[in-house]
Amino acid sequence: MSEKIRCDACPIMCYIAPGQSGACDRYANEAGRIVRTDPVLMLSRSLEAGGAVVPFASADWQDGMLPADAFVTGIGAGTTYPDYKPAPFIVSSQVAGADMVTVVTEAIFSYCGVKVKIDTDRHLGPEGAVVRAGGEAVGHVTTAEYGSQMMSLGGVSHLTGHGKAEGRVTCATLLALCNGEAVELEIEGGSGVVVQAGRPPVVDGVRERRMRVGCGSATIGMFASQWRGLVDEVVVVDDHITGVVSEHQAGKVLGWEPTGIRILGHRSTPGRYFRVSEPGLGWGGTRLTDPLQMLGPWNPKKGARPGLRLLMVSTTGEDHAYYELDADLVPQPRPMPEQLRESVGIIAENCEPSLCSVLFVGGAGGSLRAGVTRNPVRLTRSVQSRETRLTSGGAEVYVWPGGGITFMVDVLDLPEGAFGYVPTPALVAPLEFTLPRAAYLALGGHAEAVRSVEEVTRDGGEYATGAQLARWPGADPE
């Protein structure tokens, strides 16, 4: 009877029985040898979609099946762990007549996380609030940006710094988000939200449709000229900056007359008010379901009069109402004039669709770099100077300035299923380092491990596997 064999592809060091896979499901015992269960992904801009999976070292690569621009990605390639050895694939190629080298690996990241941008006018939770998945803390709410709520999830403290359950749930949450799956999150003191890259957020069971066109002040700046003559006063309700057109500089320039309106909030500059309400799920991200609650008594000495026309609208145009002042200077709801309805529609038209964005952030430091070069700091400097081009699954990345190789990539730019995990717990992400061959050798690169694409497809890698050709994400169809 065949015995279990040990896999050394990650620090777990699983003993795998014949026909079984390890804890990560990425490596298996096939007839007494460790094999990679997923095929290595090779990308081409000229290949028709739906490339077949074929074994490495197979005649099936012959007869022109392999395109000239084939690019070996880190997806399915295997890892450098335990890092004393060269990366799984160090591939030489010709690019526009230049001799280039691409170093390909699946990197194990304990120091990683995701930044989540959620387009919504709703208040999801207080800044700094803990974000939970399955009851475990996996991150926190961070600073809101224009029309979007932001979260920072993962990181080494959640992955390894607390209990095992928190680490496992954090890892599973990051993996699902990076692979484009939906995740349910709960924010302490706030809302429940379903997040999925490229899809609208679902806040407390309600699917969002639009992100704001701008703050209340910006909305007035954009549309004040279209309201002139149709209405006497416009209030754009916003949790952050509520705008009042008659007081706003845009209204002043257009000749708007004072209306004697009084806003119950903190006046910043003319026509701009902070804190008209606590944040919430109502109009413009406030708690208000009746916008008149933010108004004080109207002042007849400053222009208030019976019949004065008032439009109140949110920053997405989803909430809107029209009023006229009665004899006691109290706003009374009236049917919305058609021309005003059209102007509200223009606000809605100018709102972007509400989506979730997920960006993976990882620090490609430590001993990972030893799989690229014998002198790791030279690789860091080469990446920072842009001599070496860093990609993740073929996707462009943003490399943060400063020390180390900290990069960020939009998960939707990668092919499907690009991310994996190991139960340490940590995420596994594909990386490719591409640079001129002469520069690679000058870094102290592993010259003896450099192979051509033809040699790679003929001989395969350290772990037996197949390979799949696919169209480069975002490539123009032929």
Nearest Cα neighbor of 123 from 277, 251, 259 is 277
Nearest Cα neighbor of 74 from 418, 320, 459 is 418
Q: Which residue has the tokens 């008032």?
A: 310
Greatest extent of the chain over all pairs of C-alpha atoms, in Å: 98
* DSSP structure class, residue 167: H
| The pLDDT value given to residue 49 | 45
Torsional sign, CA 66, 68, 74, 77: positive
Nearest Cα neighbor of 75 from 308, 358, 407, 393 is 393
Identify how many contiguous H helices and E strands the chain contains and give both numbers: 8, 33
328 exposure class (CB count in 10 Å sphere: 0-12, 13-18, 19+): exposed
Round to whole Å and give the CA distance between 371 and 310. 67
The strand pair at 406-410 and 420-422 is best described as unpaired
The strand pair at 40-44 and 466-471 is best described as parallel
Tell me how crowded residue 132 is: count the other CB atoms within 10 A of its CB: 19
| The pLDDT value given to residue 340 | 92
pTM: 0.89
Give whole-number Cα distances, 226 to 213, 340, 385, 405, in Å: 16, 9, 50, 50
Nearest Cα neighbor of 381 from 401, 396, 366 is 401
With a CB cutoff of 8 Å and minimum separation 6, the contacts of 89 are: 40, 72, 77, 102, 103, 104, 105, 451, 456, 461
End-to-end Cα, the chain, rounded Å: 53
| Contact between 374 and 125 (Cβ < 8 Å) | no
Question: In 3-state terms, what secondary structure has residue 50?
Answer: coil
Q: Which residue has the tokens 């949450």?
A: 173
| Contact between 409 and 360 (Cβ < 8 Å) | yes
| Contact between 431 and 447 (Cβ < 8 Å) | no
So where are the chain's domains? 76-120+144-206+357-457, 216-349
Nearest Cα neighbor of 410 from 349, 446, 358, 459 is 358
Give whole-number Cα distances, 71 to 64, 360, 414, in Å: 15, 22, 14
Question: In 3-state terms, what secondary structure has residue 280?
Answer: coil
Round to whole Å and give the CA distance between 296 and 244. 14
Nearest Cα neighbor of 372 from 15, 169, 101, 112 is 101
Nearest Cα neighbor of 321 from 341, 302, 307 is 341
| The pLDDT value given to residue 1 | 46
State which amino acid sits at residue 275: R
How many residues can be counted in the chain?
478
pLDDT digit of tens for each residue in the chain (478 aa)? Answer: 468 889 888 888 899 998 899 888 888 888 888 888 888 998 988 765 456 788 887 766 665 567 778 889 999 988 877 777 899 999 998 877 789 999 999 999 999 999 999 998 888 999 999 999 999 999 999 998 888 899 999 999 999 988 999 999 999 999 999 999 999 999 999 999 999 999 999 999 999 998 888 899 999 999 999 999 999 999 999 998 999 999 999 999 999 999 999 999 999 999 999 999 998 889 998 999 999 999 999 999 999 999 999 999 999 999 999 999 999 999 999 999 998 999 999 999 999 999 999 999 999 877 789 889 999 999 999 999 999 999 999 999 999 999 899 999 999 999 989 999 998 899 999 999 999 999 999 999 999 999 988 888 888 888 888 888 888 877 766 5
Round to whole Å and give the CA distance between 309 and 407. 53
Helix 338-349 and helix 216-227, axial crossing angle in degrees, nearest 10: 140
The secondary element (H helix, E strand) that includes residue 318 is: none
Beta strands in 134-226 (DSSP E): 136-145, 148-154, 183-187, 192-195, 202-203, 206-207
| The pLDDT value given to residue 472 | 85
* CA 216 from centroid of its chain's CA atoms: 26
Round to whole Å and give the CA distance between 91 and 456. 8
